[in-house]
Chain A
Amino acid sequence: MNLREYQGKELFARYGLPVLPGQVASTPEEARDIATSIAGPVVIKAQVMVGGRGKAGGVKLANNPEEAYDRARDILALTIKGLPVRRVLVAQAAEIARELYLAIVLDRSRKLPLVMFSSEGGVDIEEVARSTPEKIVRFHVPLEGLRAYQARALFQPVLKDGALVAQASDVLLKLWRVYNDADCQLAEVNPLAITPAGKVVALDAKVILDDNAEYRHRDWDGWRDRDEETPGERLAREKGLSYVKLDGDIGCVVNGAGLAMATMDLVKHYGGEPANFLDIGGSSSPEKVTAALKIITGDSRDRGGAPKVRAILFNIFGGITRCDDVANGIVQSLAESPLSVPLVIRLTGTNEEAARRILADHGLTATTQMDEGVREVIAKAQEVAV
């Protein structure tokens, strides 16, 4: 789960990281009230999870509560990279003398957490990595955890000043606690700013949590932005399906993540465009199949409200998943709500024959080969388009 900036800062504050006072607002009035309570200049920042907010006009300075109202109103009217801005963070503005970058991320290759620090903060770190890689300092956190002397050693050569090194080390040790205790996959501060008065403050927060650890963090559920989910995404989450919406017009229902990706690739290979990634998982109850069809047909409407999906492909390789379970699901689902688009079914593996009988009883057929199924669904989609 990706946290929004204000959520990340909330988490940072719990661990004592230096974040400036601020609150989230969803109306200009709220923004004005927050600015009044902060007293002094504030920054209004769009809370959307995309990079380049500043360039898109999503970050503005306001010198007084009335300006905060105006700026918040402007920003709340924006859509940044397709995402409507529903909330803004109103935070105390900071004077910045210098911007640093600090992050902890999982290094999959070395199988250890990796601290990345750069004297070039406030900009895209990938760009720094490309153009001036020598400006990024890396340190792998040992299994035993991060020590204060290791943090100091990391900052000393770059920051030099004793007071700054001490503050930055304190920030890093706290960031390490956030990363480790809160099961993060990424905890990033960009920029980590130094004020003209020599104070170190975290001006942004980017946190990615490990979804697998959610069961031991009760507080995470409150962070999920339900109003940012499409109805399809919500249904998928509730039913335990992995679902990612894409832009194409061929709906795909597949069992298993690897096969689901390969199916999308194959659709593209044969000249179609996949509408989604959808993994119905190992044991496929009929309810899951019904939910999958609802998600695909309901979630892919174009702006006029017309369904965007032109045809749907089931690609099932029965292992633990029983083909007859899937067939029953398809048949039940169609009985409840008939599809307005063609359906192509490919199934093979466990209980394939039983599945074919169930489908045949309802006038449906299935292919056995994946390539064949994909070619057929593309052809059907093209017929619909014409």
Chain B
Amino acid sequence: MSILIDKGTRLVVQGITGRDGAFHTRQMIDYGTKVVAGVTPGKGGEQVHGVPVYDSVADAVAATKANTSVIYVPAAFAADAIEEAADAGIGLIVCITEGLPVRDTLAVYHSVARRREANGNGKPRLVGPNCPGLLAPGIAKVGILPGQIAKPGPVGVVSRSGTLTYEVVHQLTRAGLGQSTCLGIGGDPIIGTNFIDALTLFEADPHTEAIVLIGEIGGTDEEEAAQFIKRHVHKPVVAFVAGQTAPPGKRMGHAGAIIAGGTGTAGEKMAAFAAAGIPVARIPSEIPSLVAAAMERRRARAGTKRGSASGAKRAAGTTARRNAAARGNGSAARETQRSGRAAARGKPARRTRSQ
């Protein structure tokens, strides 16, 4: 299973008649995504790869019950497109477009947040801008991630990058570690969904057993994520931070990837993760083994509690593992703290559940 998208995802493509929009519509359909509508103002009535085109998102929603939107319109129109989708009642808005002025993103960020607060159901949610979107292996993809590199499995991947995400997902797949969902949150300074949002979703997803977090220089999202993981995430997390050799004051491709005023360095972020007891990969190829080790530790703990025979059986099976409430990160001390906290919160601590 997956976060944010699933078999019930009914997708409308904003900017479907453009070069990128049309190309990725084909790719998403081929992957099995239900692309129910496209929108290009003035081109209502046309078809793209058999998908009906409407003049507005509201028309598309009325006609097709679309619940998710993906945006490929040029930067100057992207903020408007996000606002239009939110107005039409779309629950998940994924903005692939890069190059939005920060002032525009700020305005739509707060507009979407206000609507979400008013609705009280977590919707609408904005992912991006300047992101590759989401891929739930074997289920659906919304955005531009290449489908063939992924395979279904227990690892949730969240990243500020595009191709680096593909690289890591590819390496996980080669190592036999499939993914529940791969989520690219985007490389801009202001983005709709951040690491903490993604971690919250993965923590709640019963089919995600471990999380890979791929950060980069700029801002303090990674530091805040590290604190959040320490307090609220019980599944094992492995982190990587790109830009260890990036010079200060230079924008490294992504608008948000800049070390400004001495903050936002890879070193600080890696230290924040390490201080929170989160394994940090120094290079991407270390990620799969760190994930495997973290999952192994988690299973081993579940096995010890459960008695050796069933433990061994559980360690072998993927589905069964999902029920294991064992914790994967960090030290034994933290482990104890956590079970204590879980019990205090009235949640079944793993002892109760596994014995």
Contact = CB atoms under 8 A, between A and B. Distances in A.
B is a partner of A: yes
Contact of B283 (A269, A321, A348): A269
Contact of B252 (A180, A183, A277, A371): A277
B130 to A, nearest CB: 9
A40 B282 CA distance: 59
A262 to B, nearest CB: 5
Nearest to B215: A258
A260 B167 contact: no
A262 B167 CA distance: 10
A108 B256 contact: yes
B38 interface: no
Contacts of A369: 285
Interface residues of A, number: 49
B341 interface: no
A108 B191 CA distance: 9
B244 A268 contact: yes
Contact of A212 (B75, B144, B219): B75
Interface stretch (A24-32, A82-90, A312-320, A336-344): A312-320
B149 A349 contact: yes
B160 A258 contact: yes
Contacts, number: 162
Contacts of A282: 162
B253 A242 contact: yes
B146 A212 contact: no
A108 B189 contact: yes
Nearest to A277: B252
Interface string A58-95: 00000000000000000000000000000000000000
Contacts of A319: 132, 144-146, 162-163, 166
B242 A210 contact: no
A273 to B, nearest CB: 8
Nearest to B262: A126
Given A265-B243, A268-B245, A370 B167 contact: yes
A268 B243 CA distance: 11
Contact of A244 (B187, B221, B250, B283): B250
A384 interface: no
Interface in B203-225: 214, 216-221, 224
B285 A370 contact: yes
Contacts of A348: 170
Nearest to B114: A143
Interface string B154-183: 000001111111110010000000000000
A246 interface: yes
Interface of A: 106, 108-109, 111-112, 126, 143, 180, 183, 185, 210-213, 215-216, 242, 244, 246, 254-262, 264-269, 274, 277, 279, 282, 317-321, 348-350, 369-371
16 contacts: A106-B102, A109-B224, A111-B110, A126-B262, A143-B110, A211-B251, A244-B251, A246-B245, A257-B162, A258-B214, A259-B164, A259-B166, A259-B242, A262-B283, A319-B146, A370-B167
The 10 A-B residue pairs with the shortest CB-CB distance in the complex, in nearest-first order? A258-B161, A257-B253, A256-B163, A258-B164, A213-B101, A261-B242, A242-B253, A259-B163, A261-B243, A279-B253
